Amino acid sequence: MTAPSTDTPTASAALALGDDALVLSHRLGEWMGHAPVLEEEVALANIALDLLGQARVLLSMAGDEDQLAYLREERAFRNLQLVEQPNGDFAHTIARQLYFSTYQHLLYARLAAGDGPFAPLAAKAVKETAYHRDHAEQWTLRLGDGTEESHTRMNRACAALWRFTGEMFQPVEGVDVDGGALEAEWLASVEDVLRRSTLDVPEGPRSGAWTAGAGRQGLHTEPFGRMLAEMQHLHRSHPGASW
Amino acid sequence: MATAAAQQTARTQPGTGRDGTAGSIDADDALARAFDAAVAADERIEPRDWMPDAYRATLVRQIAQHAHSEIIGMQPEANWITRAPSLRRKAILMAKVQDEAGHGLYLYSAAETLGTGRDELLDKLHSGRQKYSSIFNYPTLTWADVGAIGWLVDGAAITNQVPLCRCSYGPYARAMVRICKEESFHQRQGYELLLALSKGTPEQHAMAQDAVDRWWWPSLMMFGPPDDESAHSAQSMAWKIKRHSNDELRQRFVDICVPQAESLGLTLPDPDLRWNEERGHHDFGAIDWTEFREVLKGNGPCNEQRITQRRRAHDEGAWVREAAAAHAAKHTTGAPQA
């Protein structure tokens, strides 16, 4: 199965948003047993579980959740390149969470307020993402305005992931929001958090010409294929089995 | 609290009470008698109550080991989170590993009521001065191991832990009430995972049988050494920390598992396992205590790997914890500066 069914704008959008949640959930799952403090084992797992729950609802709107998760090739995934980025150190994970959860929270707030097909999911997800956003902001403040080392690491992480943030505001078929307004609100919020954290607002482009919208079109970064190989291996080894 | 502390000081310096009089020895005796009477009456001992030093030390050792087991126990299961074969199973496994971290936190809190700190306990775990359950030194080699751990390892843990809900030390007993509820849920999920495999394809069935074959004996070892070799048992039972002997609990567990294995359509790897009409229990084969002792000494298949990963997570997280502390120090107003 290389190409999912995206016959309708809703299925197409469900896949894009579902893949974001699925892939980031998987990355956070990689932290389990490795977190810097026990409370973060709980928090990161909690966020991963919320995202996996969202992914399951969304993928089910587009087809069979397991077929979509386990039997698609890399080129058929529609997630943002941001969420597939490796965990790196805790600062990288937090920078990725800050960028993504701010976007997701603003997006779901809009979807929850509308009457489109995503309104019921968004009504629940907006509460979860508010918590994720708060968690990411609190850690950005602690790491940015903590020690010299944490400040350096957090600045480095925010800068490294900056070039993946433009993709979030490219239009997605079936997602009826004003990308420009979303982007303006996202920028204002993230810049405010970074300033309060004594961190630099990165200066580079928010998406190079070749990355704009790339993940949404199935063009991913190299680490993603390896992530999928691990995620899909067992399922693919037993065709047709139920678990 | 001040009174309790003063009483504690008096008690730990027998014969030389604070005022140097013999009165404190009488007071000490009274406290010891009150403690014994409370235990005899099945009352709960609470953090501010007087307790014998050895009771305190035994509880710290046991609760810390229990907490460490929850934390180390995350590893063999987390090993399969990124490879879970369906999204439903992945969600269940993530939730379970998250619960284990939560159980670790409850238990460290319970241990802290006895006057020790979480950092100190973690330090003892990392340096090998405190142990964790021997079971987590076995590797998870297939997906079915996740089911075997749920069914057998959590099943053994529950058999051990349900009586701890009536343990004489209040904070531990209350933690166990919360933990046992979640553990029995995990155990049912593990059973259900194995059942799906057992009834699945021939390859899945073989995977389930292989996992049960590898986890059965290590699970029986979770109840500890036989009664005649168990160093702490008699005293712990007298103090009502422990309610049943290792061998009693092990027997109870075997009797529970045999019919469950049958309904799973799986066999248990013990040719000597059979019902004994006279005893009203299952007889079972001899446990390899040499293997048990080797694992406890650090020579099991994963001892090195488990503790190395745990230390690495802690060491690599040091800068994060330092950042959090530095941030709190800068932004907490009104608190005394360290």
Q: Which pTM value belongs to this model?
A: 0.93
Which whole number is the average pLDDT over B208-235?
94
Report the C-alpha gap between A125 and A112 in whole angstroms.
9
Instruction: Give the model's pLDDT for residue B25.
Output: 73
Q: Is A142 an interface residue toward B (CB < 8 Å)?
A: yes
Take residue B112 and report the two structure tokens written for it: 């802290």
Q: Is B322 an interface residue toward A (CB < 8 Å)?
A: yes
A9-205+222-237 CATH fold: Ferritin (1.20.1260)
Cβ neighbors of B285 (< 8 A, separation 6 or more) are B270, B271, B272, B273
Backbone phi, then psi, for B51, in 5-degree steps? Answer: -150, 150
Cβ atoms of residues A22 and A55 within 8 Å: yes
Residue B335 three-state SS: coil
% of chain A surpassing 90 pLDDT: 92
DSSP letter (8 states) at residue B152? I
Cβ neighbors of B91 (< 8 A, separation 6 or more) are A49, A52, A53, A56
pLDDT at A45 over 70: yes
pLDDT at B12 over 80: no
ipTM: 0.96
- Search chain B and give the residue with CA nearest A34: B313
Chain B residues 107-126 within an 8 A CB cutoff of chain A: 108
Using pLDDT thresholds of 50, 70 and 90, give the confidence band for residue B13: very low
Which whole number is the average pLDDT over B191-218?
98
H-assigned helices in B149-288: 154-161, 170-198, 202-221, 233-238, 246-264
A33/B313 Cβ within 8 A: yes
Using pLDDT thresholds of 50, 70 and 90, give the confidence band for residue A70: very high
Instruction: Give the model's pLDDT for residue B21.
Output: 47
Query: Which residues, in sequence order, are bridge partners of residue B275?
Result: B282
Residues of A in contact with B121 (CB under 8 A): none
Residues of B in contact with A239 (CB under 8 A): none
% of chain B surpassing 70 pLDDT: 91
Backbone phi, then psi, for B216, in 5-degree steps? Answer: -60, -55
pLDDT at A234 over 90: yes
Instruction: Give the model's pLDDT for residue A69.
Output: 98
Using pLDDT thresholds of 50, 70 and 90, give the confidence band for residue A27: very high
pLDDT at A4 over 80: no
Q: For residue B86, give the nearest of A48, A89, A243 by CB distance.
A: A243
Q: Please say whether the dihedral angle defined by the alpha carbons of residues B66, B72, B73 and B74, taken in this order, is positive or negative.
A: positive
% of chain B surpassing 90 pLDDT: 87
The pLDDT tens digits of the residues spanning B42-73 come to 999 999 999 999 999 999 999 999 999 999 99
Instruction: Give the model's pLDDT for residue B23.
Output: 52
Instruction: Give the model's pLDDT for residue B87.
Output: 98
Instruction: Give the model's pLDDT for residue A5.
Output: 58
Q: Is B196 an interface residue toward A (CB < 8 Å)?
A: yes
pLDDT at A89 over 50: yes
Q: For residue B104, give the nearest of A38, A66, A90 by CB distance.
A: A38
Residues of B in contact with A66 (CB under 8 A): 86-87
* Unique residue bearing structure tokens 């433009």: A166
- Search chain A and give the residue with CA nearest B90: A52
Q: Is B190 an interface residue toward A (CB < 8 Å)?
A: no
Residue A55 three-state SS: helix
The pLDDT tens digits of the residues spanning B226-267 come to 998 987 888 999 999 999 999 999 999 999 999 999 999 999
Instruction: Give the model's pLDDT for residue B6.
Output: 44
